Amino acid sequence: MAAGTDTILGSVPALWDEVTRRVAAGCRFADLFGTAHAGGLLLTAHLVGPAGLETWQALLPPGAASYPALTPRLGAAFWYEREIRDMFGVVPEGHPRPQPLILATAGDPPRPGSGSPPGAAERAPEVLPSHVAGPGLFTIPHGPVRSGVVESIEYLVETPGEDIPHLNMRVFYKHRGLEKRFEGMTSSDGVLLAERTEGIATVAHALAYCHALERMAGAEVPWAASLVRVIHAELERLACHLDVIVRLADGAGLAVATARFGWHKEQVLRLVSQLCGSRFGRGVVIPGGVQGLPRVAPAELLTILTGLDRKLGADLRVLMGTASFLDRLRRTGPLPPPRAHEHGALGPIGRGSGGTDDGRAARPYDAYGSLSVRVASRPAGDALARLEVRVEEIAQSFHLLRQATDELAGELAGGADGELGGAAGGPVRVPCDPAEGRAVGWAEAPQGEVLYDVSISGGRIARCRARSASFHNLVLMHEVFAGDILTDFPFIEASFGLSLAGVAR
């Protein structure tokens, strides 16, 4: 695996040349971010190719106020360069819309990696330009306080009345300054913040963060711990996919289906809390392993899973046969496969548009390499395809859960003692506390690939880049309204299934 192989190139244009060359050769653009550095602003790009993850870097000299933008050459960098502008105040020259994305401030930029805290920021509201013009066109501002219990974002829907020719998004409302907050934390505290970066994908974020540290320290996670990690990651996938289904059923006005799937989701969260005390699997994953074994014996867990699978499966079969529901999703919010591929769309959005990339299968971690992971994929690219991918992944998750629980039962029977929350250095964790270094970790969240690029200096976090799948994917909302009308909006938003906490951070 090519993880950690990184090259510092001579100049920013040379970095863009390399990135575009690698993308043309079939790599997926995965991340681009800045780090305040003694020698200026360090730009880091992550690409994912068949051989694994590769990292390319270049230094922008201190004092440089701008650099030639990558976005005109590689559209997927659109939001990433706006984020760099927000965080460091440098302007990407030639960027089609160099406006605030995750932070709209007038004061000093926070400059992650610099180690010094910026002052409190005042919001400087900017009026976004209209992107379409014509008689009778107007903008519907929707948010940041929207109807229902949802996270804060502002959608500006430009419409002549029914169609949605253009959509703008302002995500900076709930920026929490987390990447700056990581700085100076110990590596064991950092995982707590990683869990809260995108709360509904707590386990996936903790895993990606811990994988980075474990790679840095060369720590080998005990087999039992890697199985426990899989169990929690798959339960999280069930809960998130069920949440999407609840929202879709609610949008379609299927009251009974909404209630049924809401109940199933509650059962999953209760099972998680039975296993570890937290309904979101918090505190389970720690650098070097897991906090403890599940508090439910494997045999009992298998029984619970079988019951859950049976009840949920029966409801899913009825849902996927409810014509009035499927009609609302078919050809709604289409993302053409070539466009999804070009952007490197992640998770169910990418796989609903013909993608086949799933970190659990392509770049396996923890116990996934020894379990059989089948990747779900659909070519249609509409909201229905994204739902079908999720429904298939739910079945797959039960399959993985059963495999992992069986393995864990065997492991516990054959030696490793079943002491709950085994002592430090016991069977479920190894020491992992690197003092210096930098490494990248990843995990496949229910929303798609999560990437963490962690630098440790003197035992403390110097820079922690947390790139969620939600950040990478949300920008695609701009382009999926071809021919769709206002009433399709809730379906399209629900079918994306993203968390804004992970976008604005």
Partner 1 sequence: MMWAFRGLRNGVLTTRWPARPDGYAASTRGPATVLAPASQPSPPPSQNGQASLAGLCPAGAISQDGQGAVALDQGRCIQCGRCVAARPDLFGWQEGPGSAALSRTGLVVPPVAETPERLAGVRADLRARTRALRRSVHLRHVDAGSDGTEEWEMLALLNPVYDIHRLGMFFTASPRHADVLLVTGAGARGMIEPLRTTYDGMPHPKVVIAVGTDAVGGGLPGSSYAAAGGIGGIVPVDVWLPGSPPSPFSILYAVLLGLGRLPAQAEGGGTR
CB 137 within 8 A of CB 159: yes
d(CA 480, CA 382): 9
Residue choice 140, 318, 413, 485 for contact with partner 1 (CB under 8 A): 318
Which of 178, 147, 153, 180 has its CA nearest to residue 167? 153
Based on CB atoms, which residue is closest to partner 1, 434 or 502? Answer: 502
- Whichever of 305 and 340 has its CB closer to partner 1, that residue is 305
66: contact with partner 1 by CB under 8 A: no
107 binds partner 1 (CB under 8 A): yes
Which tokens go with 26? 């079939």
Among the listed ranges 53-61, 111-119, 128-136, 369-377, the one in contact with partner 1 (CB under 8 A) is 111-119
Among positions 73, 131, 279, 460, the unique one binding partner 1 when judged by CB under 8 A: 279
Q: How far is the CB of 122 from partner 1 (least distance, A)?
A: 8
**Residue 61 and residue 245: Cα distance in Å, rounded?**
49
Pairing label, strands 28-37, 91-93: unpaired
**Residue 127 near partner 1 by CB under 8 A:** no
What is the smallest separation between the CB atom of 172 and partner 1, expressed in angstroms? 5
Size of the site for partner 1 (CB under 8 A): 71
CB of 201 to partner 1, least distance (A): 8
Told to check if 322 binds partner 1 by CB under 8 A, we report yes
Answer yes or no whether residue 412 interacts with partner 1 by CB under 8 A: no
265 is a contact residue toward partner 1 (CB under 8 A) = yes
Task: State which of residues 44, 168, 187, 197 lies at the interface with partner 1 (CB under 8 A).
Answer: 197
Give the nearer residue to partner 1 in terms of CB position, either 371 or 503.
503
Q: What is the 3-state secondary structure (H, E, C) of 70-81?
A: CCCCCHHHHHHH
Instruction: Please report how close the Cβ of residue 60 comes to partner 1 at its closest, in angstroms.
Output: 22
Report the amino acid identity of residue 97.
R
How far is residue 168's CA from residue 340's CA, in Å, rounded to a whole number?
Answer: 19
- Which of 89, 115, 184, 263 lies at the binding interface for partner 1 (CB under 8 A)? 263
What distances in angstroms separate CA 468 from CA 30, 228, 244, 437, one per listed residue? 10, 23, 18, 22
Stretch that binds partner 1, among 249-257, 347-355, 435-443, 480-488 (CB under 8 A): 249-257
User: Does the protein bind partner 1 through residue 329 (CB under 8 A)?
Assistant: no
Q: How far apart are alpha carbons 427 and 134 in whole angstroms?
A: 67
Is residue 106 within 8 Å of residue 121, measured between CB atoms? yes
User: Of the candidates 77, 103, 401, 480, which one interacts with partner 1 according to CB under 8 A?
Assistant: 103
Q: Retrieve residue 10's tokens.
A: 């001579």
**Orientation angle between helical segments 187-197 and 202-217, nearest 10 degrees:** 150
Strands 66-68 and 52-60: unpaired
Site for partner 1 in 140-169 (CB under 8 A): 144-145, 147-152
390 in contact with partner 1 (CB under 8 A): no
Residues 131, 143: Cα–Cα separation, whole Å:
19
